[in-house]
C-alpha cells in the first residue's frame, strides 16, 4: 500500500486533517475529522472495555498468577512541577539536536544519517576543481541511499548518469557517531560544516500558571499520563476496596515537543495515550510482566493486525532502563518505514518500585544495583519527594511493601494509524453491471469501524424512502448502530463504494421486494455477499454480526 493513497483518503473522507490547515498547518499536530473521531473513539473504548470494564475480578485469566482488579482515573494535564522532577522527566527527558547555520533548520541528532563520499568538486567562477571527501547526510527515509545519492550529486554538481565517479566509503551511520562535524554536509545545506554541536532540548512543553507568571509559577504539559496514576496511588487505595494486585487505567492527552514530528500521526507533538499501571507484589512481578505482555499483544491481533506485520520485541539487557527487569515493545511494520523496519505501538515495562519510591523519597539514580536518592554536592536531595508513605499494607498477609509496577503504555493515535494502514485494501469487485472495477475498502474490525451500517432506498419512490428512514431511525436508537448513515444519492453501486471506502461493514437496501415481503438486502463489505433478511430481524442480525 502506498502511504500517500491512505493519507489522501484520510483527508478526502474526513478521517484526519492537518491542524490549523487554513493558516498553513502546524507541524506535529493533527485534527480528527468526522469519521476519524468515531474511529479513534472506538479504539479507545475497545481498549477500555477489554482492559477495564469487561475485566472480571472474580475469574483468574489464563496465565495470570491470580485474580486481579482493574479501575480507572482521569487526571489533569498540568500537575505540580515537582512530579516531573521526581519522575526524572525534568532532568532526563531530552533529545539532542543540531541546528544548521545555513538552512536554519533543526534536526534530531540521531535521525541525521550519512555516509562518506569522495568526488571532484568543480570550483565556482573558474576556480580549479578539487577532490573533496564529504560526509553527506539526509534525514532517515524509506530509501536512505538514494536520498544520499541525490544530495551528493547536487553537492558535486554532477549529472545522474555520471554517478559512478563518486566513491562511497563505509556504512550509512548517524552523525551522532562522528567526533567532528567539520566535513559534514547538513541535510538541507549547500556548504560543508554548517551544523552546530548537538544541544539538549527538553521535550516537555513549559507553561505558566496564574497571572503573575514568575519563575515559581511554571509547570509542564504532561509528557505521559502515567504520573497522574502514581501520585494518586494512595487515594485510590484509600477510597476504594481494591487490593493488590490491581491496575489503574487512564486514557488522555500527552504532549512532547518532538524535534522531528513526522510519518503522519505516528510522531506528533500532541497525542493520546492509553496507559495501565498494574501494582503487584514484588515476588510476582516477573509473572505479571509476562501476563500483560502476552495479553496486550493478543489484543492487537484480535483487533485485526496481521501476523507478520505485528511483532513483540523484548528489549536487550543494555536497552533496559536501570530499574527494569524486562521491557517489550509491540511493533508494527508501518508502510512509511523501510522494508524490515517496525515502529512502536506500545511498550510493556516492568518498572519495579521505581515510580512509587521516587514520589516518596525524591528523584532516584542507580548506585551499583541499588536505587538511591540523587544528591547535590551539599548532600541535599536534588529533587525532594513528597515524603508521603506510598507503601501498601496487605492486611491478610500482614505484610507491608512497596508494590512493583507493570506498565503497558499504548498510543491511541499510533494504534488508530496502524488499524487504518492494515484496513486499507484494494480489490477488483464487480460493479452494478457485473464489470470488475478497482475498489478501495477499509477492512476494519466491526468493533472499530466508524460507521457500522448504512441504509439505502433503492430508488426515491414507491415508499422505499419511508421504509428506509424507519429502519435508519431504529438503528440510530440502538447504541451499537447509532453511527448508522442514510444515503439516497446516486446509483446504489456508487453508494456501496462510498461506504466501502470508509469501512462500513454492512449496507442495507430497501427495494421492490421489501414492499412485497418485508425483507431487505444486507450486504457484507468484505465478501460482497448479499442476503435477504426480514426487516424486523435486522437489529438482531446486525447485533450478532457486529459483536463477533
Q: By CB under 6 A, name the binding residues for ligand ATP.
A: 224, 256, 258, 267-268, 271, 273, 344-347, 409-411, 413-414
Which one, 202 or 521, has the nearer CB to ligand ATP?
202
Which one, 337 or 356, has the nearer CB to ligand ATP?
337
Nearest-approach distance from CB 403 to ligand ATP, in angstroms: 21
Nearest-approach distance from CB 130 to ligand ATP, in angstroms: 42
Cα–Cα distance, 154 to 163 (Å, whole number): 11
Nearest-approach distance from CB 274 to ligand ATP, in angstroms: 9
Which one, 192 or 406, has the nearer CB to ligand ATP?
406
Question: Which residues fall within 8 angstroms of residue 180, CB to CB, at 6 or more apart?
Answer: none
Which one, 108 or 383, has the nearer CB to ligand ATP?
108
Tallying the residues shown for the chain, one arrives at: 548
HSE on the CB side for 366, CA within 13 Å? 7
Which one, 88 or 347, has the nearer CB to ligand ATP?
347
Which one, 347 or 505, has the nearer CB to ligand ATP?
347
HSE on the CB side for 279, CA within 13 Å? 28
Nearest-approach distance from CB 198 to ligand ATP, in angstroms: 17
End-to-end CA distance of the chain: 27
HSE on the CB side for 332, CA within 13 Å? 23
Nearest-approach distance from CB 414 to ligand ATP, in angstroms: 4
Which one, 413 or 422, has the nearer CB to ligand ATP?
413
Nearest-approach distance from CB 94 to ligand ATP, in angstroms: 12
Which one, 168 or 201, has the nearer CB to ligand ATP?
201
Q: 114, 143 in Cβ contact below 8 A? A: no
For the record, the C-alpha cell of 478 comes out as 440502538
Q: 51, 68 in Cβ contact below 8 A? A: no
For the record, the C-alpha cell of 58 comes out as 472474580
CA-angle at 37, arms to 33 and 39, nearest 5°: 120
Cα–Cα distance, 91 to 95 (Å, whole number): 11
72 prior amide bond cis, ω within 30: no
Cα–Cα distance, 310 to 273 (Å, whole number): 19
Q: 96, 176 in Cβ contact below 8 A? A: yes
Which one, 256 or 497, has the nearer CB to ligand ATP?
256
Which one, 411 or 505, has the nearer CB to ligand ATP?
411
CA-angle at 141, arms to 135 and 147, nearest 5°: 50
**What is the DSSP code (8-state) at residue 51?**
I
Give me the residue whose beta carbon is nearest to ligand ATP: 411
Cα–Cα distance, 300 to 113 (Å, whole number): 32
Nearest-approach distance from CB 500 to ligand ATP, in angstroms: 28
H helices of 362-446, where?
412-423
Nearest-approach distance from CB 97 to ligand ATP, in angstroms: 14
Nearest-approach distance from CB 41 to ligand ATP, in angstroms: 17
Nearest-approach distance from CB 413 to ligand ATP, in angstroms: 5
For the record, the C-alpha cell of 504 comes out as 462500513
For the record, the C-alpha cell of 209 comes out as 500558571
Amino acid at each position: 500500500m502506498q502511504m500517500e493513497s491512505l493519507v489522501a483518503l484520510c483527508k478526502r473522507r474526513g478521517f484526519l486533517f492537518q491542524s490549523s490547515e487554513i493558516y498553513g498547518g502546524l507541524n506535529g499536530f493533527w485534527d480528527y475529522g468526522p469519521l476519524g473521531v468515531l474511529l479513534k473513539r472506538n479504539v479507545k473504548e475497545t481498549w477500555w472495555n477489554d482492559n477495564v470494564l469487561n475485566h472480571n475480578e472474580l475469574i483468574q485469566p489464563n496465565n495470570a498468577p491470580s485474580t486481579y482488579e482493574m479501575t480507572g482515573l482521569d487526571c489533569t494535564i498540568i500537575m505540580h512541577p515537582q512530579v516531573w522532577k521526581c519522575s526524572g522527566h525534568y532532568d532526563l527527558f531530552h533529545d539532542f539536536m543540531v541546528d544548521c547555520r545555513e538552512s536554519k533548520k533543526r534536526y534530531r541528532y540521531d535521525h541525521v544519517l550519512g555516509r562518506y563520499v569522495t568526488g571532484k568538486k568543480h570550483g565556482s567562477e573558474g576556480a580549479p576543481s578539487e577532490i573533496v571527501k564529504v560526509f553527506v547526510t539526509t534525514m532517515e527515509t524509506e530509501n536512505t541511499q538514494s536520498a544520499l545519492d541525490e544530495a551528493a550529486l547536487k553537492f558535486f554538481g554532477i549529472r545522474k548518469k555520471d554517478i559512478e565517479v563518486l566513491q562511497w566509503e563505509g556504512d550509512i551511520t548517524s552523525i551522532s557517531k562522528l567526533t567532528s562535524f567539520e566535513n559534514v554536509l547538513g541535510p538541507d545545506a549547500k556548504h560543508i560544516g554548517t551544523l552546530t554541536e548537538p544541544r539538549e532540548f527538553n521535550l516537555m512543553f513549559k507553561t505558566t500558571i496564574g497571572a503573575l507568571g514568575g519563575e515559581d509559577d511554571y509547570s509542564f504539559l504532561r509528557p505521559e499520563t502515567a504520573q497522574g496514576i502514581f501520585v494518586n496511588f494512595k487515594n485510590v487505595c484509600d477510597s476504594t476496596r481494591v487490593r493488590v494486585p490491581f491496575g489503574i487505567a487512564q486514557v488522555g492527552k500527552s504532549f512532547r515537543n518532538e524535534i522531528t514530528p513526522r510519518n503522519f500521526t505516528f510522531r506528533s507533538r500532541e497525542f493520546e495515550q492509553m496507559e495501565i499501571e498494574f501494582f503487584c507484589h514484588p515476588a510476582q512481578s516477573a509473572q505479571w510482566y509476562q501476563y500483560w505482555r502476552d495479553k496486550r499483544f493478543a489484543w492487537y491481533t484480535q483487533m485485526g493486525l496481521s501476523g507478520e506485520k505485528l511483532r513483540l520485541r523484548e528489549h536487550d539487557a543494555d536497552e533496559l532502563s536501570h530499574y527494569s527487569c524486562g521491557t517489550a515493545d509491540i511493533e508494527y511494520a508501518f508502510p512509511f518505514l523501510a522494508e524490515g523496519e517496525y515502529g512502536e505501538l506500545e511498550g510493556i515495562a516492568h518498572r519495579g518500585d521505581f515510580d512509587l519510591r521516587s514520589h516518596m523519597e525524591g528523584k532516584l539514580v542507580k548506585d551499583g544495583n541499588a536505587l538511591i536518592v540523587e544528591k547535590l554536592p551539599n548532600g541535599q536531595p536534588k529533587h525532594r519527594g513528597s515524603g508521603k508513605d506510598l507503601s501498601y499494607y496487605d492486611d491478610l498477609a500482614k505484610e507491608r511493601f512497596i508494590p512493583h509496577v507493570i506498565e503497558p503504555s499504548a498510543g491511541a493515535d499510533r494504534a488508530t494509524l496502524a488499524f487504518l494502514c492494515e484496513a486499507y485494501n484494494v480489490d477488483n469487485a464487480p460493479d452494478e453491471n457485473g464489470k470488475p472495477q478497482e475498489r478501495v475498502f477499509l477492512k476494519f474490525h466491526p468493533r472499530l469501524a466508524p460507521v457500522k451500517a448504512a441504509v439505502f432506498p433503492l430508488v426515491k419512490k414507491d415508499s422505499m424512502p419511508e421504509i428506509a428512514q424507519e429502519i435508519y431511525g431504529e438503528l440510530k436508537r440502538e447504541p451499537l448502530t447509532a453511527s448508522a448513515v442514510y444515503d439516497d444519492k446516486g446509483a446504489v453501486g456508487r453508494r456501496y463504494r462510498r461506504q466501502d471506502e470508509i469501512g462500513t461493514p454492512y449496507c442495507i437496501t430497501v427495494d421492490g421486494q421489501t414492499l412485497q415481503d418485508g425483507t431487505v438486502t444486507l450486504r457484507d463489505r468484505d465478501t460482497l455477499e448479499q442476503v435477504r433478511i426480514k426487516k424486523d430481524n435486522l437489529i438482531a442480525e446486525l447485533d450478532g454480526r457486529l459483536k463477533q
